[in-house]
Structure 1
């Protein structure tokens, strides 16, 4: 894992994850070489991120018709460690690594049922105004929920 700059020490980093979302690799997720297409983990990250935000209670507010804020992905990356194949069952883990004023650095980990880590990733999510497109600070309640989630990991 030395080549992945956002992971300093894999064991401690891995132990910090609490939330995960289950996926099963569909045939359409694979490519002509019979392994997971390199674009698919980003969809898995999206699904897991949405469920993670639902678990914190954020998504329910963002999708309301009168919501003044929305989350946007500012950047996203994935590092592939092992091959993944059709019909495998994976857990896609998500955690907030750090929380800024209106942004959060989320980390992701895809693991097989046997515990092997197949891919990892990270990305910055920013809460913005749905009208102006400018960053909107997290509320005190949102920040508290992020911090409680981090405290569970400690």
Structure 2
């Protein structure tokens, strides 16, 4: 397994940098014959958490609406599996924007089962805003940038 280089300086301190969390409900169909959550389901949880995050910041309709002039495209995504996750466990997903660029953002994820004090998985990925007509990257709208910067308590240098 590759090292999760986005976890800095260590897991405990990295987890304290998150300001948003959402509960995840594991469906039976997301498990294998051993009752483990299937590896592809984690990416679905990351996507759901990203949508919940955008909705929490009131930017979900702006960046995810079918009539928007742009679309959100996943450029890459990584998942590191730390501990088994099972049906009937109650995980919470932590989500944060770690880097905000002109047309893209890096998002990090941490899936935890709080009542068992276990980290099930962590992940990171980049999403890019792409113009629907041009099929090229497009700048993140200023109101979206401002909400993320404020929520994440980021310092912006521009």
> Which TM-score applies when normalising by structure 2?
0.88
Q: How many residues align?
A: 151
- Bigger mean CA deviation after superposition, 18-27 or 94-103: 18-27
Distance (Å, rounded) in 1 between the aligned partners of 2:46 and 2:66: 25
- Work out whether 1:134 is the aligned partner of 2:133: no
Across the aligned residues of Structure 1 and Structure 2, the Cα RMSD in angstroms comes to 1.7
Residue deviations 1:10-65, cap 9 Å, x none? 12210011211111222111112221101100000111111111122222123445
Residue deviations 1:64-88, cap 9 Å, x none? 4531111111111100000011111
Distance (Å, rounded) in 2 between the aligned partners of 1:131 and 1:7: 37
Which residue does the alignment assign to 1:33?
34
- Work out whether 1:106 is the aligned partner of 2:104: no
User: Match of 2:134, SS?
Assistant: coil
Residue deviations 1:86-129, cap 9 Å, x none? 11101011100011111000000001032321100001011111
Runs (4+) of structure 1 moved beyond 6 Å?
none
Distance (Å, rounded) in 1 between the aligned partners of 2:64 and 2:146: 21
User: Match of 1:89, SS?
Assistant: coil
Which residue does the alignment assign to 1:143?
145
User: Match of 1:24, SS?
Assistant: coil
Which structure 1 segments of 5+ residues have no match? none
User: Match of 2:24, SS?
Assistant: strand
User: Match of 2:91, SS?
Assistant: strand
- Asked if the contact 2:94–2:109 (Cα under 8 Å) also holds between the matched residues in 1, the reply is yes
Change (3 A) 1:26 1:61: same
Which residue does the alignment assign to 1:91?
92
Cα deviation, residue 141, structure 1:
1.7
Cα deviation, residue 140, structure 1:
2.1
Change (3 A) 1:10 1:145: same
Cα deviation, residue 138, structure 1:
1.4
- Map residues 1-150 of structure 1 onto 2, 5 A cutoff: 3-8=3-8, 9-114=10-115, 115-150=117-152
Which structure 2 segments of 5+ residues have no match? none
User: Match of 2:72, SS?
Assistant: strand
